[in-house]
Structure 1
Amino acid sequence: MSRVCYRFGAFRLNPHARELHRSGERIALPTSHIDCLAYLIQHRDRPVGRDELTAAVWGRVDVSDVSLNHAIMRLRRQLGLSGSEQEGIRTVWGVGYRWVMDDTVVEAEDAPVAPPSPAAAEAPAPLPAAVVAVVEPAPLAAPVDAAPPALVPAVPRPASRRAWLWGLAALVALVLAGWALSLRRAPPPQTAAVPASAPASIPALVLPVQVEAPDGWAWLRLGVMDLVATQLRRGGLAVTPSEAVVGLLNPQLDVPTEDGWVRERMATPQAWVVRPRVRLAGSSWQMALQASDGHRALYADAVGEDVLHAARTATDRLLVKLGRVPPATTETSLSRVAEETAQRISAAVLAGQLDVARALIDAASPEIRGTPEIALAQANIDFFSGNYEASARGAEALLDRLSPDTAPLLRARALHTLGSTYFRQDRLEAADAAFAEGIRLVEPLGERSTLAGAYTGRGAVAGRSRRLDDAVRLFGTARMLHEQTNDAFGVARVDLNLGVVAMDRAQPAMALPILEAAAARLETLAVPEAWAFALRSIVDAQLMLLQHPAALATSERFWPPESHSRNTRERWWMTQSRAVALAANGRLTDAEALAAQIRDLSSPTDDAIVRAEADSLLASIALLRGSPETVVQHAQEALAVTLGPGNRLTMATTRLTRIRALHRLGRVAEAAEDVRYLQAQALEAPDDWRVLFIRLAEAEQAGAEGRRDAALAAYATAMSLAEATGVPENLVVVGESYVPALLAAGQREKAGAIAGRVAPWAGQDLRAALIQVAVHRALGDRAAAEHALRQARQLAGERLLPAELLGVADVTP
């Protein structure tokens, strides 16, 4: 394999292995500092912004300036550079940093192949040559640490759906993160003893099993894989979750021949890669495990009449060779059969075959179906099917059976499922209580995977409740736990949530690279539902940045929804996201058709929030088509749904759309009622950036009532709030009505200033283009007005252009 390294002075940087050497001697630095140096060198042709650097290296929004400053200071000190002299790492004021060492040399080096270890020579008889692979030390690829909208009256906004779904990135696969675990029989509260000489944590990952048996045993490929991973984890190893490994492989689950390929893509350079093989010989099962860390190989095998017993025995023998004490076994015959059934169900779910999982439960005996493990499996199947009521009932019934004293871990996993279901039902207090109880049960047990899921759940609840600082803190704890358990999927899921937090803070430019990195990782791991949510969040960010064609292109990646999710509830959100992107690009008929589909076919109870979003979209489209009566009707339908604090933007923008329609109908007094309602809501969260839409509604109402000075004052406040966010979408939505008011008042200079502020987006956003038309026309600049009108016509699509702006000479695109 080829590695790209960098030499400068006496230093040599290997970004893949995350190693920095001075004159051949390794320098001890945190991996984040080495990644920071590598990123600066890789982009040495330009300055790298501080936000870009933190997003690329840490992939998260809760990295303080202190952390970045400390990393730069320590790098300069280790490299012998002076901050005052600005050599090597130069500070570019107002931007960030740039690598400026001229003698930097890029070189390629072939990775060495380790000689055979004596341990391999002394190992038991190896597997056949077709199974055994000579493994070289694998270079480490830098990890991708990354992990809506009500519509403004002119163009659908990207942020209103955020209130309902922003934390869904954690919960789209929240149960899945512990899915395999939840189907296993809970181990005793006591963890396996670890010899003092053993390392604190050995990373490992288990590949799908090579099965040599009739087709009816194909389920062993993933089922035994997960059993081996479970036993190794109980023995004290940090084992990558099975779903993450399965997601790494292609849909056919072809197992790669090189362990280095696996380590590089899972970002685990020193992990043990375990390759299981099982063979049916007569009535006996032969189980063999080959494990390699790139330097040595270990082998363990077992034979038995019961394939699962043989697999556990071989795994225990491997644990002994790794210096670990195998966990105690207290299984009964019933539990072994239940475990086999659970493993088959887990394999079916990992493969995305929910119907097969249900059939396995139906085929089990009543005694097996009555075990807690299978009951929890059924609740999880219901969850991933979108049947949240059934999932909640199943989890609640299971909790009545599980004692916190005798089955704390299994009870915690049931609470995890219940909390996830409550979250989807918008029962936030109940969800938070379930996750909190799960944390209390699991923390004494040291079971990090389940604990991380519970912290992620609480973070999602905090985000939906607008407690963003709490959300970031909880996600940070979850991320640390996922890192400790070598869970790339869990890290990506948390990073996705952190990107959503940035969106809720009106920071789409910061959120976008984090979301894109998380989406890339989730796509690699083949987690379709979480990946689709990441794409929908990217659509939101792109729309807030006025990148309308890019948003539409992103939506095409998860379209049609039935190809990416088996959850009916989630498919409606995909449909809504696609409709918003279509409307933002002027394709109103297509957007209307999708929104109407949501209204006609979704459940009024289970899909109430997305139906409100669809009505809000239809109201905005009706306003764009010049049908104010239809606007009022759809807006009223949207506002009939009870929305919580997390849906504040949906409420504000929908009422603003309705207010504009009422103004066009001459029903100014009725519009005033809506404005007063919004003002009361603003008192609950005066510091929320979404208040700018309420101030905008106040301004338009004052203008409609003939109170020009009050209108201009309210407009100025709304524009000041929009400027504070720096979000292009917020600037144009205020500017589109503020500029005409300024021109009507004869304040052309102020109108021109706003036109200049939004001019960078005049070629990509209809509203920004129309602002240019109005201002240039008022200033008498005919040529500029014609150019801006040409841009507007190119962008309009099916949207009507204001008649008062068509007075310039008729030009065509």
Structure 2
Amino acid sequence: MEAVLARHAAWRGLAQTTAPGHDPALWSAPREDITLARVSQRLRFHHFEIDLAARELRDGGRLLQLSPKIFDCIAYLLDNRERAVGRDELMAAVWGRADTADSQLGQAMLKARRALGDSGEAQHTIRTVAGFGYRWIADVHEVEVAAEPPPPAQAAAPVPPAPEPDTGAAPAAVTRETRSGRRHWFAAAAVAAVAAVVLSSAFWAWRQPHPAPPPERVVAAAPASAPDTLVVLPARVDADEEFSWLRLGMMEFVAARLRAAGRTVAPSENVVSALRAGDAAQLPETIRAALKPRYLVVPHARRTDHGWTVGLELQDRDKAAREVTASGEDAIAAARAASERLLDVIGRLSPAAVAEAAALPSEELLSRIDAALLADDLDGARRLLQSAPPEQRAAPELRLRLAQVEAGAGRFDVAEADLRRLLAEVPPETDPVLRASIASSRGAMLVRLGRAAEAEAVLDSSMETLESRSEPALLGKSHMRRGVARALQGKADAAMADFAQARIALQLAGDALGLAQVELNEGALSGVRNHPGDALESFRRAERQFERFGISSELVTSMANQVVAHRVLLQPGQGLEVSQRSLALLGRLPSPDLEHLLKLRRAQALADNGRWSDAEMQLGELARGIDPAREAELAALTANERALLELARGRAAEAYALTEPTAEKLTAPEFDSARSEAWFLAIRALHAQERVAEAGALTRRYAAWAAPSGNTTFVIHARLAEAEQAAAERRYAEADRAYEDALRAANAQNVPADIADVAESWAGSLIARGELIRAAPVVGQIARYAEHDFGSALLQVRLYHALGQGEAWRSALDRARALAMERAIPPELVKPPAAVRIGNATVGVGN
């Protein structure tokens, strides 16, 4: 979806698999009787293992649940991986006949790719052979099965280290070292490319698999919407299987006719998403709860001896129903007539745009293409487009849909070029709404291609065209896209204004999913602007809506960024709870990138709560599974998190080895957040090894880089690094000035994690120097976090112990122990404090 923080979302789409007019004799034919029974070996590819005899597919040891046909598609391609397999051959192998509907095979391949963490865009496991079929391309290794596995007692698996006791040794700087990466700054999660609604005003470029909801679903508050919103449901079709496309095609056709007459009709994507997320029988109730429409329109179509009869049932909020019917030679003609009769009942708000048949491509063809796009069948949509006569293929409406298909397949440069040419051929005076739709789609493509300034200019023209038009859905999407383009250029205030206008327009359009995308964008931008509390609330609202509709990619992003927000707000327990809920999405995501992001957030939440062994296991698995070339940022963030744990365990050399590559090699602007974090950790790792001179040189480079960045968090941490360098060199007056600067900047931003980073370091330095009176107010700055944050609690233990305050020390120690888990409390802080003399007074009594 169109989200600032959609960086780790994958764009799905299936490439063309057949070409019209292709001679079947040229397609591949099976060279022997088609059977899967002869396959008996176990094979490994990526992090999957498949036992073809037992019909089991495992992902990292976890058994995946696949339908028989999906498993057979995977198995057959694997067994014939030395060559491309034609569509007819695959259909004959799996379904036992070669005349299976193309859409059936397309859907099966879509699900097979999802199960393997693949997509039509990535194609790292199954490649589409255009005009022919498919080919297995992932490296495959046979698994040697031991005759008799050793008993568990003899297994050589490593045992996680036991939690360290309170009295165990710990590095002196454990508090600071475990704190510094807790933020995983929002910019790393939110600065990116984006646009999910990148195509026409009517369709998304891709959609997500929609898993069954968990047992206890969170019910989202319905968004404010126009009071007279209509929702058209999928049609009930009483006809042969060849007319199954009418189910979604007629839905979108009727919705478009009603929209043309000025009625507010919720986008069909909302309906399709709700359908995938739950029980089809409950769809009307789900839609009523989610969208609060005034009317539901339920189409039904029946084929007769003389043509078609189409009925449109109109249900109001009280479920009272009226129905209009019409007949015609074909289903779309009947649906057109029924729509006109329905408008006679509910009224037109503006004259309907009734085009002559000769002026537009075949309405049936458009409806079939729209049905394929709504069903994620990009292969089918492409075949329909290519099968149209040349004069129809030249029509702007079909060219726009072809650009949709290209974008859905991940060919954004091709889609942008097509849209640019089309835009030049459709002047505003000819069809202003169509032109605005083309411009808006092109703007989204430019954002995806990293050309945000161009995108902003193109989207400006789209909205100028719409100024006098009642097109709230298209206007809302255009504002959202321009907001993303502005956010990527650092124009935060202008972006927020766009998101606010998008919210109003999408409410008027009855677009609940569009509103959820706005929440996601606003949350990301709030995080970048150092307003984590606002960001968290936006992410929570977005999660509730995406969960309702089963949109898994955006659901992952919403939950992953909640973990970040809780980290920044020093709420580790709440972050762990969110990450625990997110585990239900594992195995149901359309790309490995999303699964890796979810696992990274889980590991960070575990580490924040002192579950170091669990976090290390998760991070080790991630490090092995991430492709550093394709997922460079995720690889860097995983390395940073591993470095934090190495520092906390006193293994500074290992920590430096993990962070140095990121700090030195990931120099592109999109990696700035990961690089800043790595730089800061590398400096601390050098200090922990007493390599003070090297740390000083790196600190100067870091500070010179951070100063012009405009990122307050970078500047705060660079100044903090300078303070720690000065303290290491015993230049305490200079160190205190730097600490004071950093703390002042952190307080101005009022971000708890930044304040704690500086306060813990400065207070620790002052306590080590015996300047307890000066340390006390610095510790006081983060006292409010000590109930739930281990670093803040441990700092209080340190101060009260140094002051000789026995009762306060004991209470603080109990609190720190309750939060510690595997984090060690230095042994000197566990011993009762002695009385301390400050000036002429004796303070505290050790006991």
TM > 0.5 between the two? yes
> 1:257, 1:588 → 2: CA distance?
44
**SS of residue in 1 equivalent to 2:781:** helix
Match of 1:180 among 191, 203, 227: 203
**SS of residue in 2 equivalent to 1:299:** strand
Match of 2:524 among 473, 497, 500: 500
Equivalent position of 1:577 in the other structure: 601
Aligned: 1:311 with 2:335: yes
**SS of residue in 1 equivalent to 2:264:** strand
Shift of 1:487: 1.7
Equivalent position of 2:113 in the other structure: none
Equivalent position of 1:697 in the other structure: 721
Match of 1:358 among 376, 379, 385: 379
1:197-242 superposed Cα distances (whole Å, 9 cap, x missing partner): xxx9953221222232344544433332122111211221111111
Q: Do the aligned residues in 2 keep the contact of 1:163 with 1:464 (CA within 8 Å)?
A: no
Equivalent position of 2:55 in the other structure: none
Higher relative contact order (CA 8 A, sep 6+): 2
Q: Do the aligned residues in 1 keep the contact of 2:200 with 2:440 (CA within 8 Å)?
A: no
Equivalent position of 1:717 in the other structure: 741
1:440-464 superposed Cα distances (whole Å, 9 cap, x missing partner): 5555655332232122122123333
Q: Structure 1 residues 410, 536: CA separation in 2 closer, same or farther (over 3 Å shift)?
A: farther
Aligned: 1:336 with 2:357: no
Q: Do the aligned residues in 1 keep the contact of 2:707 with 2:715 (CA within 8 Å)?
A: no
Equivalent position of 1:115 in the other structure: none
Shift of 1:699: 0.7
Matched to 2:363, the amino acid is: R
> 2:464, 2:628 → 1: CA distance?
36
Q: How does 1:451-490 map to 2 (within 5 A)?
A: 451-490=475-514
Shift of 1:499: 2.6
> 1:174, 1:642 → 2: CA distance?
30
Q: How does 1:71-150 map to 2 (within 5 A)?
A: none
Aligned: 1:291 with 2:319: no
Shift of 1:488: 2.1
Matched to 2:253, the amino acid is: L
Q: How does 1:69-468 map to 2 (within 5 A)?
A: 153-155=177-179, 157=181, 159-160=183-184, 162-166=186-190, 171=194, 173-175=196-198, 178-180=201-203, 202-249=228-275, 251-255=277-281, 262-263=287-288, 265-268=290-293, 271-282=294-305, 284-294=307-317, 298-324=322-348, 325-332=351-358, 335-349=362-376, 356-359=377-380, 361-362=382-383, 365-367=386-388, 380=404, 388=410, 390-402=411-423, 403-405=425-427, 412-413=436-437, 416-424=440-448, 426-443=450-467, 446-468=470-492
Matched to 1:735, the amino acid is: A
Aligned: 1:657 with 2:678: no
Q: How does 1:580-595 map to 2 (within 5 A)?
A: 580-595=604-619
RMSD across aligned positions (CA): 3.6
**SS of residue in 2 equivalent to 1:237:** coil
Q: Do the aligned residues in 2 keep the contact of 1:334 with 1:368 (CA within 8 Å)?
A: no
In the alignment of these two chains, the number of paired residues is: 630
> 1:609, 1:376 → 2: CA distance?
34
Match of 1:517 among 538, 541, 546: 541
Q: Do the aligned residues in 1 keep the contact of 2:195 with 2:481 (CA within 8 Å)?
A: no
Shift of 1:263: 4.4
Aligned: 1:542 with 2:581: no
Deviates more, 1:361-370 or 1:455-464: 361-370
Shift of 1:796: 3.6
Q: Structure 1 residues 717, 682: CA separation in 2 closer, same or farther (over 3 Å shift)?
A: same
Q: Structure 1 residues 667, 530: CA separation in 2 closer, same or farther (over 3 Å shift)?
A: same
Shift of 1:480: 1.8
1:629-680 superposed Cα distances (whole Å, 9 cap, x missing partner): 2222222222245466676544433221111011122222222233223333
Q: Structure 1 residues 508, 391: CA separation in 2 closer, same or farther (over 3 Å shift)?
A: same
> 2:815, 2:407 → 1: CA distance?
48
> 1:375, 1:257 → 2: CA distance?
33
**SS of residue in 1 equivalent to 2:770:** coil
Shift of 1:709: 0.9
**SS of residue in 2 equivalent to 1:678:** helix
Matched to 1:235, the amino acid is: A
Matched to 1:577, the amino acid is: R
Shift of 1:483: 2.0
Equivalent position of 2:803 in the other structure: 779
> 1:502, 1:667 → 2: CA distance?
38
Q: Do the aligned residues in 1 keep the contact of 2:790 with 2:819 (CA within 8 Å)?
A: yes
Shift of 1:347: 3.1
**SS of residue in 1 equivalent to 2:277:** coil
> 1:317, 1:614 → 2: CA distance?
60
**SS of residue in 1 equivalent to 2:375:** helix
Q: Which runs of 5+ in 1 are unaligned?
A: 1-150, 184-199, 350-355
Q: Do the aligned residues in 1 keep the contact of 2:324 with 2:338 (CA within 8 Å)?
A: yes
Q: Do the aligned residues in 1 keep the contact of 2:552 with 2:585 (CA within 8 Å)?
A: no
**SS of residue in 2 equivalent to 1:559:** helix
1:688-707 superposed Cα distances (whole Å, 9 cap, x missing partner): 35522222111111111221
> 2:627, 2:454 → 1: CA distance?
23
Q: Do the aligned residues in 2 keep the contact of 1:180 with 1:226 (CA within 8 Å)?
A: no
- With structure 1 as the length reference, what TM-score do the two structures score? 0.69
Shift of 1:278: 1.4
> 1:617, 1:594 → 2: CA distance?
11
Matched to 1:238, the amino acid is: T
- With structure 2 as the length reference, what TM-score do the two structures score? 0.67
**SS of residue in 2 equivalent to 1:174:** coil
1:721-769 superposed Cα distances (whole Å, 9 cap, x missing partner): 2223333322222222111111123221232223333233324222112
> 2:636, 2:700 → 1: CA distance?
21
> 2:204, 2:465 → 1: CA distance?
16
Equivalent position of 2:15 in the other structure: none
Deviates more, 1:217-226 or 1:644-653: 644-653
> 1:691, 1:494 → 2: CA distance?
30
Q: Structure 1 residues 572, 363: CA separation in 2 closer, same or farther (over 3 Å shift)?
A: farther
Q: Structure 1 residues 401, 458: CA separation in 2 closer, same or farther (over 3 Å shift)?
A: closer
Shift of 1:522: 2.5
Q: Structure 1 residues 182, 779: CA separation in 2 closer, same or farther (over 3 Å shift)?
A: closer
> 2:426, 2:365 → 1: CA distance?
21
Equivalent position of 1:750 in the other structure: 774
Aligned: 1:611 with 2:615: no
Deviates more, 1:682-691 or 1:275-284: 682-691
Equivalent position of 1:676 in the other structure: 700
Q: Do the aligned residues in 2 keep the contact of 1:463 with 1:471 (CA within 8 Å)?
A: yes
Q: Structure 1 residues 492, 795: CA separation in 2 closer, same or farther (over 3 Å shift)?
A: same
**SS of residue in 2 equivalent to 1:638:** helix
Matched to 1:400, the amino acid is: R
Q: Structure 1 residues 322, 309: CA separation in 2 closer, same or farther (over 3 Å shift)?
A: same
Q: Do the aligned residues in 2 keep the contact of 1:219 with 1:347 (CA within 8 Å)?
A: no
> 2:706, 2:466 → 1: CA distance?
40
1:352-389 superposed Cα distances (whole Å, 9 cap, x missing partner): xxxx44355357654479666666556656656xx64x
> 2:629, 2:564 → 1: CA distance?
25
1:470-505 superposed Cα distances (whole Å, 9 cap, x missing partner): 111111121121122222222222133223333223
